[in-house]
């Protein structure tokens, strides 16, 4: 373990040589388990009850939404096994070396955005924890030194693992699951003791359409955001690994902890009207806990964000390299982290009122990412191998240069699916949103399923063109 943690991965986006591909699906199981064993699943469960679902329906939505969406992550992992390269690098084969810049840039912005939110959220939890233990102020604005210390500490712990790379992530995620999973179980056990089960009996539940919306909410909030990282983690897998094993490792690895925490959140939301009505269920749940348990809850929140951030920053570094920026992977990680650190500090201390719109913006990026997923999945049905040298060849002589560096058969369906799905979204909140699509007030728009429409339209548009080389 110590030797593995001391090894810095030197590889960037180039395909992994056969002699280094000795991974197994169990390693990926622990990676996805650790990234999702967090009390941050609790507010997702509360949101399902707020939507009108009863607890059995919420559990159904949790299983289908989380395990189902991470099954997609597992499917894309198969491409990583086949091509031994990161997800966005492999997508050069379907979009062209230049056409792939669009999907890659969107993925990077989304990844950096959520890392910024994760860092700011962890710092806020640290501020609250210090308030409990040391009597400091409870807000970042009133305790700026504590807030900045929280950001710096969180980022340092993230970089310590992400810079080391793939081997270190495998070790840390596995042991963190066992060590810090206990904290989450302690919080869950205490919350379970507070549940008023008599209040749950009278819940009538929601109509099937509303349950489908719940499934969509969970999928969009869990696996869909990780789909374009599937191959990043699977590129070291042995070529002999079964495809089904990769799918199960992701679906079960993430699905088990998510179902537990989302289910617990639904129990709390269904029996506690204060938590259910709160605009911030995460904070409302914390306020129901006594001091010592609340402190554990905050630590579990920070650790959960950290374990997720390890993977996110690692993937962001690979995505940065895929844009064609010629630096080493280690420095790509450092650059990405510098951006998220700056953003987190601005959120906490300067940009009052900007946090909500920013989250809405990066949530909208789920649409182009979902469109990419649809195209990638269809392409996997017809393409089972990738040319490693051509994935890295950005010149006009490369096999994936196509027409001026663009494969229109892939890029056009991607752009069309984004355009169609954007008709069903609203950007911004309140009485004056930035943009409201003309179909936003339809059931599809109100249900927040524009991302699913983007995936379907992208896949359907690309399917008849998948074997074309233009």
Q: What is the pLDDT of residue 3?
A: 45
Does residue 1 lie in a domain region? no
Lowest-confidence range among 95-99, 103-107, 235-239, 297-301? 297-301
Pairing of strands 435-436, 426-427: antiparallel
pLDDT band at 283 (very low <50, low <70, confident <90, very high): confident
Tell me how far apart the alpha carbons of residues 77 and 71 are, in angstroms, rounded to a whole number. 10
Residue 457 has pLDDT above 50, yes or no: yes
Tell me how far apart the alpha carbons of residues 392 and 403 are, in angstroms, rounded to a whole number. 17
Q: Find all residues with CB under 8 Å of 416, minimum gap 6, and list them.
A: 457, 458, 461
**Number of domains, the chain:** 1
Residue 454 has pLDDT above 50, yes or no: yes
Residue 149 has pLDDT above 60, yes or no: yes
The mean of the pLDDT values for the chain is 91
Q: What is the pLDDT of residue 6?
A: 55
DSSP state, 433?
-
Residue 299 has pLDDT above 80, yes or no: yes
Of 42, 114, 8, 70, which Cα lies nearest the Cα of 260? 42
- Of the two residues 87 and 185, the one the predictor is more confident about is 87
Residue 2 has pLDDT above 50, yes or no: no
Quick: pLDDT tens for 385-419: 999 999 999 999 999 999 999 999 999 999 999 99
Lowest-confidence range among 80-94, 194-208, 364-378? 194-208
Does residue 202 lie in a domain region? yes
Residue 11 tokens, joined: 């590889």
Does residue 11 lie in a domain region? no
List phi, psi (to 5°) of 428: 105, 165
Q: What is the pLDDT of residue 430?
A: 66
Q: Residue 220 sits in a domain of what CATH number?
A: 1.10.4160.10
Residue 298 has pLDDT above 70, yes or no: yes
- Cα distances from 317 to residues 82, 163, 283, 464, in angstroms, run 21, 9, 32, 33
Quick: pLDDT tens for 315-338: 999 999 999 888 888 889 889 999
pLDDT band at 86 (very low <50, low <70, confident <90, very high): very high
- Token pair 């807030």 is found at 147
Contact between 420 and 452 under an 8 Å Cβ cutoff? The reply is no
Residue 421 has pLDDT above 90, yes or no: yes
- Of the two residues 40 and 356, the one the predictor is more confident about is 40
- Of the two residues 434 and 60, the one the predictor is more confident about is 60
Does residue 412 lie in a domain region? yes
Does residue 70 lie in a domain region? yes
Mean pLDDT for 151-159 is 94
| Domain that includes residue 121, residue range | 20-467
Q: Find all residues with CB under 8 Å of 246, minimum gap 6, and list them.
A: 25, 28, 74, 75, 77, 78, 81, 234, 237
Does residue 29 lie in a domain region? yes
Of 212, 195, 193, which Cα lies nearest the Cα of 276? 195
- Of the two residues 85 and 347, the one the predictor is more confident about is 85
pLDDT band at 1 (very low <50, low <70, confident <90, very high): very low
- Of the two residues 184 and 24, the one the predictor is more confident about is 24
Q: What is the pLDDT of residue 9?
A: 78
Residue 58 has pLDDT above 50, yes or no: yes
Does residue 37 lie in a domain region? yes
Does residue 5 lie in a domain region? no
Q: What is the pLDDT of residue 215?
A: 94
């Amino acid at each position: 373990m110590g030797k593995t943690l001391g090894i810095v991965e030197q590889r960037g986006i180039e395909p992994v040589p056969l002699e280094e591909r000795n991974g197994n699906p169990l390693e990926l199981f622990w990676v996805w388990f650790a990234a999702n064993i967090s009390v941050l699943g609790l507010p997702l469960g509360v949101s399902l009850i707020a939507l009108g679902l009863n607890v059995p329906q919420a559990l159904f939505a949790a299983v289908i939404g989380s395990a189902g969406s991470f099954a997609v992550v597992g499917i894309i992992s198969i491409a990583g096994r086949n091509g031994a390269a990161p997800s966005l690098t492999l997508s050069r084969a379907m979009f062209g070396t230049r056409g792939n810049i669009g999907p890659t840039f969107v993925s990077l912005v989304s990844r950096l955005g959520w890392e910024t939110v994760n860092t700011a959220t962890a710092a806020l939890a640290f501020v609250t924890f210090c308030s409990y233990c040391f009597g400091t102020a409870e807000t970042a604005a009133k305790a700026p030194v504590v807030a900045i210390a929280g950001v710096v500490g969180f980022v340092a712990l993230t970089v310590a693992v992400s810079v080391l790379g793939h081997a270190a992530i495998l070790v840390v995620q596995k042991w963190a699951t066992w060590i810090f999973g206990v904290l989450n179980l302690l919080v869950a056990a205490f919350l379970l003791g507070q549940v008023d089960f008599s209040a749950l009996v009278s819940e009538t539940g929601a109509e099937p359409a509303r349950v489908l919306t719940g499934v969509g909410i969970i999928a969009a909030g869990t696996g869909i955001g990780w789909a374009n990282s599937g191959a990043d983690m699977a590129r070291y897998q042995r070529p002999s690994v079964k495809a089904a094993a990769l799918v199960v490792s992701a679906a079960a690895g993430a699905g088990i902890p998510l179902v537990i925490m989302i289910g617990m959140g639904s129990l709390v939301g269904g029996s506690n009207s204060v938590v259910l009505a709160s605009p911030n269920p995460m904070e409302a749940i914390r306020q129901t806990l006594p001091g010592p348990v609340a402190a554990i809850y905050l630590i579990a929140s920070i650790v959960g964000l950290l374990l997720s951030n390890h993977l996110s920053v690692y993937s962001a570094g690979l995505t940065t390299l895929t844009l064609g920026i010629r630096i080493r992977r280690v420095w790509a990680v450092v650059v990405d982290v510098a951006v998220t650190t700056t953003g987190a500090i601005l959120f906490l201390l300067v940009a009052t009122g900007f946090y909500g719109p920013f989250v809405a913006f990066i949530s909208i990026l789920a649409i182009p990412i979902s469109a990419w997923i649809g195209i990638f999945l269809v392409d996997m049905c017809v393409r089972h191998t990738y040319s490693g040298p051509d994935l890295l060849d950005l010149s006009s002589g490369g096999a994936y240069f196509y027409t001026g560096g663009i494969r229109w058969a892939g890029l056009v369906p991607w752009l069309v699916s984004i355009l169609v799905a954007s008709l069903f979204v609203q950007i911004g909140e309140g009485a004056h949103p930035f943009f409201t699509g003309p179909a936003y007030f339809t059931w599809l728009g109100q249900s927040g399923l524009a991302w699913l429409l983007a995936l379907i339209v992208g896949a359907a548009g690309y399917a008849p063109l998948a074997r074309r080389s233009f």
